């Protein structure tokens, strides 16, 4: 166990806990007191805040469109980007974009993506949240060879609208590949979503949020399990950018693409955020709140009405998920909105957004225990039900079509986790024994937060495809330490 002394040395004063009422206070854990090459690090305090414009990721166009299918191709390649003003940073990208491009897909219409990997490491491209056949899932063992390997992925898009995303999943490499940039966005829409009249076009903005650590020469500094030094916050690939808005409603589709950082998004004046969706698409009704927690892998679809701000004013998007000892002046700041003009607004946020199918009757229950070593040693391992990941071992056998309830518990005292399942969107029935009846967790989810000691009860129906899929903690460093397992649907 980690001692209080170890925790204090690591700058974590009295690691404390727990998520209540949707307000998650993340907890960091101490890892090794390994010597740091601190001299070579770029001091984030010196990075100018809110001087760079937040870019929009380019929308990728299909190279071929038929009655049923849109065909795309992407190249995984190295590129150099100005993330911090005045510095050049080598990154691993989809098509040279950091973050990668956006694919806009429609339910009922197939998407085929050919990926060519020119990087010097193997990759596996996972469509996070996608309901897809095993051979297109981008599993940890289904690699695209480095140095020019290719793979064609088919996405049937038989699921309803959802905000999905791409990231690398090559086992033991995903953590570093993602840290160095291998993420992109995949927005799946359908008639249910389209007919609502939500903010659209230029007023519908995908934003990938993450953290990073830089050397003075601009290079990203990657160390496994390094939660202490990734103190630069990036929005769409820029450190602490600004974004100009009109005084009207905008829809922001946030994805937490950080390896380990939890965000609790707020406006600096604590005014209202209207959360309309989560991982698996829209909520049934808007959730009016001042706090939107998202852990790595999760998505939050939010409407902000800037008409309450005078033209010429600014408001910051901040992050309240700081653990004791973390530099709030850095990781507490995210993005500055500048209200620069007025604009007409005929968009609406209807009181009813969608309906969700009634819950099927579950016939199987399982217990899942997430645990990692909390010794602070560099050799720390992470486990699901006491085992580290073995890609050749099937951990859970599931009957095709079954509806199951999984009780997932984080038994750690200090380390937060989250839990992600491939193939399915699940429902969160309970958190810490209390029924989930309000808020963002009432929607379809594929990733769910678990603060130390927390338990969630999830329900999923395993249908559509047979095969082997993984479930894991979505803090990529933890997955790479072994917190991942296989389920086989047969």
Q: Does 299 bind Cu ion (CB under 5 A)?
A: no
Residues with Cβ within 8 Å of residue 483, at least 6 apart in sequence: 370, 372, 382, 383, 384, 388, 389, 417, 472, 473, 475
Q: Are 126 and 469 in contact (CB under 8 A)?
A: no
Considering the complex, what minimum distance in angstroms separates the CB of residue 457 from ligand C2O?
Answer: 21
Helix ranges restricted to H, 291-429: 328-331
Closer residue to ligand C2O (CB): 354 or 420: 420
Angle at 444 between CA 440 and CA 446, to 5 degrees: 100
Q: Which option in ligand C2O, Cu ion, none does residue 126 bind, with CB closer than 5 to 8 A by kind?
A: ligand C2O
Q: Which option in Cu ion, ligand C2O, none does residue 478 bind, with CB closer than 5 to 8 A by kind?
A: Cu ion
Footprint of Cu ion on residues 466-485 (CB under 5 A)?
473, 475, 478
Q: Are 411 and 382 in contact (CB under 8 A)?
A: no
**Omega prior to 18 cis, within 30 of 0:** yes
Residues with Cβ within 8 Å of residue 479, at least 6 apart in sequence: 174, 175, 382, 389, 472, 473
Q: Does 261 bind Cu ion (CB under 5 A)?
A: no
Closer residue to ligand C2O (CB): 445 or 472: 472
Tokens standing for 84? 């911090």
Q: Which option in Cu ion, ligand C2O, none does residue 332 bind, with CB closer than 5 to 8 A by kind?
A: none
Q: Which option in ligand C2O, Cu ion, none does residue 420 bind, with CB closer than 5 to 8 A by kind?
A: ligand C2O
Considering the complex, what minimum distance in angstroms separates the CB of residue 347 from ligand C2O?
Answer: 30
Q: Which option in Cu ion, ligand C2O, none does residue 417 bind, with CB closer than 5 to 8 A by kind?
A: Cu ion
Q: How many residues bind Cu ion (CB under 5 A)?
A: 4
Q: Which option in Cu ion, ligand C2O, none does residue 473 bind, with CB closer than 5 to 8 A by kind?
A: Cu ion
Q: Does 417 bind Cu ion (CB under 5 A)?
A: yes
3 DSSP β-pair partners:
none
Distances (CA, A) of 81 to 97, 118, 218, 257, 478: 9, 18, 10, 18, 28
Q: Which option in ligand C2O, Cu ion, none does residue 297 bind, with CB closer than 5 to 8 A by kind?
A: ligand C2O
Closest CA to 162 of 250, 103, 98: 103
Q: Which option in ligand C2O, Cu ion, none does residue 167 bind, with CB closer than 5 to 8 A by kind?
A: ligand C2O
Closer residue to ligand C2O (CB): 151 or 420: 420
Closer residue to ligand C2O (CB): 266 or 420: 420
Angle at 445 between CA 22 and CA 211, to 5 degrees: 65
- How many Cα atoms within 13 Å fall on the side-chain side of residue 474? 26
DSSP code of residue 134:
G
Considering the complex, what minimum distance in angstroms separates the CB of residue 303 from ligand C2O?
Answer: 25
Binding site for ligand C2O (CB under 6 A): 126, 128, 167, 169, 297, 420, 422, 470, 472, 474
The SS3 assignment for 179 reads helix
Footprint of Cu ion on residues 47-66 (CB under 5 A)?
none
Q: Does 283 bind Cu ion (CB under 5 A)?
A: no
Closer residue to ligand C2O (CB): 420 or 445: 420
Q: Are 257 and 263 in contact (CB under 8 A)?
A: no
Q: Does 28 bind Cu ion (CB under 5 A)?
A: no
Stretch of 186-194, 317-325, 413-421, 438-446 lying at the interface with Cu ion (CB under 5 A) = 413-421
Tokens standing for 81? 């980007």
Considering the complex, what minimum distance in angstroms separates the CB of residue 144 from ligand C2O?
Answer: 16
Q: Are 94 and 76 in contact (CB under 8 A)?
A: yes
Considering the complex, what minimum distance in angstroms separates the CB of residue 422 from ligand C2O?
Answer: 6
């Amino acid at each position: 166990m980690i001692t209080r002394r170890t925790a204090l040395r690591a700058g974590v004063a009295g690691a404390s806990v727990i998520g209540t009422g949707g307000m998650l206070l993340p907890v960091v854990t101490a890892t090794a007191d390994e010597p740091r090459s601190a001299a070579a690090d770029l001091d984030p305090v010196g990075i100018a805040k809110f001087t760079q414009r937040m870019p929009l990721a380019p929308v990728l166009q299909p190279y071929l469109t038929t009655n049923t299918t849109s065909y795309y191709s992407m190249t995984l390649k190295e590129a150099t980007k100005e993330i911090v003003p005045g510095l050049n940073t080598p990154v691993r990208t989809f098509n040279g974009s950091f973050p990668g491009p956006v694919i806009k897909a429609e339910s009922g219409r197939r998407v085929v993506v050919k990926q060519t990997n020119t990087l010097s490491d193997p990759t596996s491209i996972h469509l996070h949240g996608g309901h897809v056949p095993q051979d297109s899932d981008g599993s940890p063992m289904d690699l695209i060879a480095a140095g020019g390997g290719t793979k064609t992925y088919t996405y049937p898009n038989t699921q309803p609208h959802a905000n999905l995303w791409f990231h690398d999943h090559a086992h033991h490499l995903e953590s570093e590949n993602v840290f160095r940039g291998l993420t992109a966005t995949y927005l799946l829409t359908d008639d249910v979503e389209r007919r609502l009249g939500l903010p659209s076009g230029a007023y519908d903005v995908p934003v990938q949020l993450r953290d990073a650590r830089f050397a003075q020469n601009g290079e990203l500094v990657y160390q496994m399990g390094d939660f202490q030094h990734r103190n630069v916050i990036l929005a769409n690939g820029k450190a602490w950018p600004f974004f100009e808005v009109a005084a009207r409603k905008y829809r922001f589709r946030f994805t937490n693409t950080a390896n380990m950082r939890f965000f609790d998004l707020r406006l600096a004046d604590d005014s209202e955020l209207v959360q309309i969706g989560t991982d698996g698409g829209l909520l049934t009704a808007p959730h009016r709140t001042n706090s939107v927690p998202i852990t790595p892998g999760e998505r939050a679809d939010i409407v902000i009405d800037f008409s309450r701000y005078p033209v010429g004013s600014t408001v910051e998007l901040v992050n309240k998920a700081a653990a004791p000892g973390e530099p709030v002046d850095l990781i507490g700041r995210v993005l500055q909105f500048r209200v620069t003009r007025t604009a007409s607004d005929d968009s609406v946020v209807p009181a009813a957004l969608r309906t969700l199918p009634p819950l099927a009757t579950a016939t199987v229950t399982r217990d899942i225990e997430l645990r990692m070593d909390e010794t602070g040693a560099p050799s720390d391992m992470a486990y699901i039900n006491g085992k580290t990941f073995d890609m050749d071992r099937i951990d859970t056998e599931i009957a095709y079509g079954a509806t199951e309830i999984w009780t997932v518990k984080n038994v750690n005292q200090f380390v937060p986790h989250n839990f992600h399942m491939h193939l399915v969107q699940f429902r969160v029935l309970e958190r810490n024994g209390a029924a989930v009846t309000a808020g963002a967790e009432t929607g379809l989810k594929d990733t769910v937060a678990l603060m130390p000691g927390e338990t969630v009860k999830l329900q999923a129906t395993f249908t559509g495809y047979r095969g082997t899929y993984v479930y894991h903690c979505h803090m990529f460093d933890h997955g790479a330490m072994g917190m991942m397992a296989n389920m086989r649907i047969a």
